[in-house]
Structure formats: C-alpha cells, structure tokens
Structure 1
Amino acid sequence: MPDVDRERAWLLTVDGAPQSYVDLDDPEHLEFEYVRRLAHVLDHAAEPGLPLDLLHLGGGALTLPRYAAATRPGSRQTVVEFDAGLVELVAEYLPLPEGAGVTVHAADARAWLEGAPTDSADVVVADVFGGSRVPAQLTSVEYAREAARVLRPGGLYAANLADGAPFGFLRGQLANFGAVFGELALIAEPAVLRGRRFGNAVLLASDGGLPVGGLARRCASDAFPARVEEGESLARFMRGAAVVGDADAVASPQPPEGAFSLG
C-alpha cells in the first residue's frame, strides 16, 4: 500500500520501497537518480523554458510533472496513473500548485495510449511499474507503435526501465523501439551497463535526432553520473535481440531482494 512519510511529507513508499520524492517548496529538487535523468531529457527536449505537451504514463507523486511545470511554465501535461487510491492520496497530501497545467487520470496506461489522439504529444514519458515490474502490456512492439503514433514528428519517447545482466529484457525493449523509431539511446549508471548490479536505465527513442551530446555532458556531470549509449556501442549491446509482440510480451524481471530498498 502507498504510504506518505509524515515526518518528511515528501517521501512516498510502495510496499516499503521508495517510489517518489517530492519537495513541495522546491519542485526542481530531484532526489532519485532515474528521475534526474528523465528531467535531463525534458531539459533537452526543446529550447529552455519552451512549453511542451507532455504525456506521462505512470504518475507516482507527480515529481516529474511538477518539475516540468516549474521549468517549462505553460506546458500542458496529462498524467495517467492506474492506482486510483494513489491518485487520491497524492491529491490530498501533496497537491499540485494552482495553475500547474497538469491533468491526472486514474486509468490503464496502455488503454489510454491507444485512445489518445495521433500527433498529440511532444514527449511521452513512461514510468509504469506494477509493484517492482513493468507490466507486460507495456513491453511489446505494438505498444511502441502506439507511442510513436501519439508523438508528433520529431517527438521524444523516454521510459524508465530496470534490468540486470544479461539484459534480456532491456535488449528486447531496445529491439522493439528500434523497429519503430529511427533513433535510440540508453542512459544508465556505468556499473549497471557493465552488469555489476541490477538497476534503472532510461530508454530514449525518436524519429528525429536525439540530443545525445548535451545529455551525455549533463549526465556525466550529474551528482549521480551516468553514461549515454547510442550508435555503434548501443548496437553492440542489443545485437541479436528480437522484437517482442503482444503474444510473447512479459513483465520486466523481478529485482533482486533489496535492489530498490531504502537500505
């Protein structure tokens, strides 16, 4: 069950694992590494301060929508969160500022995506976990095609995923999006990419150019350094990976015990 740490009102946990961190007084403060990397992506999605139409699949405590509202005022943001109880809890204890431009819906992410208008989003951010795993319906090539349909030309898809060596799940996701989009990149901590530990990785896809240069510099200089893999190095990483359709799609792997605990 979701729980808000009442002593630090901004920490949300699900089944004992940290799920979201929100500083109501400073929405640009991002505590978790993967959220910082998603924010770097938003920072490079367009010129600084330019409003965007954003679709967030998975909401949590709305950390990233709050960040986008602060850094890109005037953006129109739609958030789709399956857990209606979580939506109510966040609205009660961690309300959005008035005029944030964020609309939250308690709904299934895949169903919402399939019903969304074509060419309606500049960026689609996927951060959907059922417990500690990405649901199977969000891991197929058909899902990737729906994301591409909803994005405008040149739009950007960014997904928070989790895997560990030998990276069967992550490589399959790259194959899916590589079959649909012209450009791919992957952001992760070096130790994760080397297979030393299970962890988060941010998958990026676009039919236009990805801002890999700026992202690589930002991620390398972050308090939690990460690498941006693209081109030949990414092709080597995903070599031999097969596209996965709805009929064969599976959820992301179960993390090892303690992988995402508060420690």
Structure 2
Amino acid sequence: AGSLDDLLQAQVAGAVQRTGISARLKSELRFRLIESLQRRGAAKAGFLGGGGGGAGTGLLPKGDGSLTLSDRAVFSMILEFLKVRGKHFALSVLLPECGMAEADVLDPAEVGQALSLQRVPLFAACLDDSGGDGPPLLVRLLTAMASLETPARTEQYTQTDGGGIGQTLDAKLASCLAPSAAAVREDRRTLQERMLEFQARCESRVRMEAEAEIARIRTLERERIVLEEAAKCRKEIQEAALRVERETQAKAQRLAEKERAALERLRTKELELEKRAVEWRADAQRAIEENVQRQRARAR
C-alpha cells in the first residue's frame, strides 16, 4: 500500500510539473503574497500618517488609478510575452510592480484600441495572423516591422558608343570581351599581388615570432646560466666558509693546547720556585740558629 501511494504521488507530481500547474500555482502564490504585503505596508503607512505610500516599507509599489491606458497596453504586451515564454516568476513580480492583476491584462484587440492602432494596416495584419498557439503580439509586431526594411540594391550603368559601326560580329564580340578580359587580368594581377603581400606578411610574422621565441629561449638560457653560476658560487662560498671554520677550529685547538702546555710549564716553575724558597728559608733558618749558638758560645 505504501509503495502504491508513493507511485501515485510521483505520477501526480510529474503530471502537475508537465502541465505547468505547479508553476502557475507558485506564480499565483507569489502574487498573493506580494499583494498582501503591499496592503499591509499601505495600511501601516496610513496608520502612521505617512503620505509616501510604501516608500519606507521596502515593498514593491502598489499600482493605483494613475496608471494610464497606454501604459496598461504596453505592460499587457510584455506580460503576454512573459506568460507565453513561461516566465512565471517574472510575472509574479512584474504584475504587482506594474500595479495590475491578471484580470487587468488586455488582449491584442484591446491593446490596439488602447493605443489607437486598430486602423493601422501593420497592426491589423498582426491581429489577423494571431492564433491560439501563435507567437505573442510583441513578437509579431517586431517581426512585421523587420519585414518592412527594403533590401539593399545596387545599380550599374553602361554607356554604348557608335564606334563599332561596320565591324563584324567577331570584332564586336572581341571588343565586348576585351574589357572583361582586361578586368580578369587586372583581377589576376591584383590577386597575385595580394598573395605576395599575404606571403610577405606571413613571412614577416613568422620571422617576428621566431625572433621572439629565440629571444625567449635566450632569456631562459641566460636565467638558467645565472642560476647555475649563483648555485656554483654559493657552493664555493659554503665550502670556503667550512674550510675557514675548520682552520679556525684547528688554530683554536692548537692555541688551547699551547696554552695548556704553557700553564703546565708555569705551574712546574712555580713549584720549583716554591721548593727553592722553602730550601732557602730552611738554610737561612739553620744559619741563623748556628749564628745564635756561636754567639751564645762566645758569651760563655
């Protein structure tokens, strides 16, 4: 049962979509919505005492009795064109903006009466050509106006002279064919000149394009060479920097070793000096003690 309901709904939706009922309903709903919003905006503006209609409401302007009959006729042709082309959304917006409803749209005969065109042969012919499924009135009018344009014409004049009196038929034919033969030769010569000019232009263009391509290749090669030389110089600089850094580290290491050796020698000399100082002090102390003992011995 559920699948049958879904199938029925799908068939109904497809039929509504194919027949255009959905589009017409959407157009009618948009028109009703815009009309209700306009009435609400107009009522709000009247309640607030504003005299500018819906200027401050941001809604589409609502048409009033100031719409002239000629304007209605022109709008009717435009609305008929949109309706035939199936532009229902544009209709739903343009109808209230023009201040018209679907009932206010004039038919082609009423358009002719409103614009006083019922006695114009062109407009009458457009009305006679109208049918149930024919093109809109606006399209028929434009097509009829385009058909009024006269085709372009060219005129050529020839002048005969009496110089061929007494000539044979072959001579007259030759004299008649001589201008055309000369024109053919001139055209051939002109064609050859044009071909030569075209060939020269082609060669010049090919030469210019080849020169431009060669210049581009040279520029690319120059840039490539510059990049290669820059990379080579950068590599050499890096190698030199590494070499200098290694030499600096080696020198620093040698200096550190020399400094350590000098410190060791200095420390050894200091120890020797301290040892000699101790020995000197001991010798001096013994000499003093011996001197004191000798003095004591003398005193006794």
Specify which structure has the higher proportion of strand. 1
Q: Over alpha carbons, which structure has the higher Rg?
A: 2
TM-score in terms of structure 1 length? 0.20
Higher relative CO (CA 8 A, sep ≥ 6), structure 1 or 2? 1
TM-score in terms of structure 2 length? 0.18
Specify which structure has the higher proportion of helix. 2
